[in-house]
Structure 1
Amino acid sequence: MRSPDPRISLVIPVLNEARNLEVVLPSLPEVHQVILVDGRSVDDSVEVAKRCLPDIEVVTQTRGGKGNALACGFARVTGDVVVMFDADGSAAPEEIPLFAKTLVAGADFAKGSRFTSGGGSDDITRLRKAGNALLNGFTNLLLRTRFTDLCYGYNAFWSDIIPAFGLPPTELGRESGRQWGDGFEVETLINCRIALAGMKIREVPSFERDRMFGTSNLDTFRDGIRMLRVILREYGRSWRAGRRERERALPGPDTVVES
């Protein structure tokens, strides 16, 4: 039974974001749990986080990449609702209650969108916007979804659906190498899998702010190709699963078919 007053856990991946954390963390609303997942920062990100929020839970991710960071954070969640929150200042903390309200109203997954009515962005370039539109349209065509902003990472969901994401095990250490789903493709991977699982997705208008300090680790072309591969792989996986279901439904040699 899902709570009408859910406990909220924030999962914040961090890699050298000390200057941003000084501004972002004090602006957060009071929530049940804040988990900072550190990618072995070489600045004082962890020290700044502990100073700003003494109760913050700090986790060191087991491999590299945003996907692995999120998976490590999800493994530590104790709340009813999980919010994926970026540390660079682009996500508006005041939108968190709207995400939670959308879930309480019946959604399994609250999908932030910069391109639905009420949303917007100060940060997205024309190239990224065009790439997002292409990937978005391709996904909607193949998976019969109605996403308006496939690649946006500000999302929230009930913690009980985490197993449906099927993310790579966090127990595999750095020596195992990067796994599929460890990088920026993770958001596309999650969106595809929850859609194919038939979960209730509701878009939430969201405004993306400019990154405050530093530069993004996102590579438009490289990560765009990885996202395209995610879409094709998930479509293929779904098609093969559907074929197996159809084959199981066919009458076997010992099956009597009523006429």
Structure 2
Amino acid sequence: MQKVTVVIPAKNEAQSIGELVGQIRAGRWVDEIIVVDDGSTDGTGEIAEAKGARVLSHPYSKGNGAAIKTGARHAIGDVLVFMDADGQHKPSEIPRLLSRLSDGYDMVVGSRTSSGQANFGRGVANRFYNWLASYMSGQKVKDLTSGFRVAKRSLFLQFLNLLPNGFSYPTTSTMAFFRAGYSVGYEPIDVGRREGKSHIQPAKDGIRFLLIIFKIGTLYSPLKLFMPASLAVLLLGAGYYGYTFFSMGRFTNMSALMFTTSLLVFLVGLVSEQITTLMYKDTDQRDSGNLDRDDVD
């Protein structure tokens, strides 16, 4: 029988953490509840501990991703359940996500509906992330940024070095599982209203999420990102050359610059592809080693 650990990163979530932990314990679906107190100043850790959670405290705020890493390292469970501490995720849906692992999935993500998005802008952004991730991975990605998910701990630990300390660990972990050839499934979930104040800052985190778009590409298959960009610059240079040739009868420096830029973008993508392959080399070797040991046994 596999043990299950719930990992909840929390920063100043005193309004919701107590009820969340209480609901999880009442359901008796899991063996351990870990609340990672990421430098809270409102007593979040004390409330969670009083409700029966195992609390791991950061001396200062390190970020959502860092809290996830801490919880994953210290968990006793063979399966990890990740949830947000703001009250949006419903503990009653944990069994549904866990049951999907028996269907052959290595990670199951709670997929939010359009009505479950925080606001219209966030909904549009998430749909764009999902489309980009689907293009990069060649797989249908229904919710790239959902923080409600379950995963096999032994596999999740392989990618801790790739996860950012801040936002967005869901994006990175999903793409890492796809890149390594693991199976990722989706289960529809309902999302409630958030308790307390969101830690996301639209201006600052908007730029950060924009960088995530490029990170998705470079993390999974850089050439899928760099090749279209290289081709676009090449076609632009060819079009400009055609214009200057027929209007002025000459080849201009601007056309040369565009052709050179196109080549450089392609070469950067090629090098990035090799680096990405090396990033996952250790994971592939560990998998081969595990298969070899299984054969011996």
TM over 0.5: yes
Does residue 6 in structure 1 map to residue 2 in structure 2?
yes
Pairing partner for 2:274 from 223, 240, 243:
240
SS state at 1:146 partner = coil
Shift of 1:186: 1.3
Q: TM-score, normalised by structure 1?
A: 0.79
- TM-score normalized with structure 2 length: 0.70
For residue 22 of structure 1, report the CA deviation from its aligned partner: 2.4
Partner AA of 2:274 in structure 1? R
- Which of 192, 211, 215 is the equivalent residue of 1:226? 211
Q: Alpha-carbon deviation of 1:243?
A: 7.4
Deviations 1:171-198 (A, max 9, x none): xxxxxxxxx7111121101111001111
**CA offset digits 1:191-231 (Å, max 9, x no partner):** 1100111101111111111112x111123413422321321
Tell me what 2:36 maps to: 37
Identity %: 25
SS in 1 for 2:108: strand
Residues 72 and 243 (structure 1), Cα distance of their counterparts in 2 relative to 1, 3 Å cut:
closer
**What secondary structure sits across from 1:167 in the alignment?**
helix
Q: Distance in 2 between matches of 1:242 and 1:205?
A: 31
Counterpart amino acid of residue 4 in structure 2: I
1:6 offset after TM fit, Å?
Answer: 2.4
Choose from 48, 56, 60 the match for 1:59.
56
Gaps of 5+ in 2: 223-270, 279-297
CA distance in 2, matches of 1:84, 1:98: 14
Could you say what secondary structure the match of 2:161 adopts? coil
Q: CA deviation at 1:99?
A: 1.0
Give, in whole Å, the separation in 2 of the partners of 1:123 and 1:42. Answer: 28
- State how far apart, in whole Å, the 1-side matches of 2:63 and 2:89 are: 19
Distance 2:14 2:153 in 1: 28
Whether 2:133 is the aligned partner of 1:139: answer: yes
1:138-177 residue pairs with structure 2 within 5 A? Answer: 138-167=132-161
How far does the alpha carbon of each residue in 1:97-147 deviate from its partner, in whole angstroms, 9 at most, with x for none?
Answer: 0111001221100111114xxxx6445211011001111111111221211
Change (3 A) 1:48 1:147: same
Q: Larger RCO: Structure 1 or Structure 2 (Cα < 8 Å, ≥ 6 residues apart)?
A: 1
Letter in 1 for 2:35: L
Q: Partner amino acid for 1:146?
A: K
> Which residue matches 1:183?
166
Letter in 2 for 1:25: V
Q: Distance in 2 between matches of 1:61 and 1:92?
A: 25
Give deviations 1:20-76, integer Å, cap 9, x for gaps: 1122111112221111101111111111112111xx211123761100000010000
Counterpart CA distance in 2 for 1:150 and 1:243 is 22
Report the equivalent of 1:177. none
For residues 23 and 135 of structure 1, what CA distance do their matches in structure 2 show?
A: 32
As a proportion of its length, which structure holds more helix? 2
Aligned to 1:201: 184
How far apart, in 2, do the equivalents of 1:25 and 1:121 lie? 25
Taking structure 1 as reference, are residues 43 and 243 closer, same or farther at Cα in structure 2, changes over 3 Å only? closer
1:216 corresponds to which of 187, 198, 223: 198
Provide the aligned C-alpha RMSD in A: 2.1
Check the 8 A contact 2:21/2:33 in 1, yes or no: no
| One-letter code aligned to 2:273 | W
Q: Which amino acid aligns with 1:45?
A: T
Aligned 8 A contact 1:184 1:218 in 2: no
Which stretch has the larger CA shift, 152-161 or 235-244? Answer: 235-244
Structure 2 Cα separation of the partners of residues 243 and 78 of structure 1: 31
SS at match of 1:208: coil
CA contact (8 A) 1:8 1:81 kept: yes
Give the 3-state SS of the residue equivalent to 1:60 in structure 2: strand
- Cα separation, partners in 2 of 1:60 and 1:222, compared to 1, 3 Å: farther
Deviation at 1:242, TM superposition (A): 7.6
**8 Å contact from structure 2 (residues 97, 150) kept in 1:** yes
**Hey, what does 1:84 align to over in structure 2?**
82
Equivalent pairs counted in the alignment come to 222
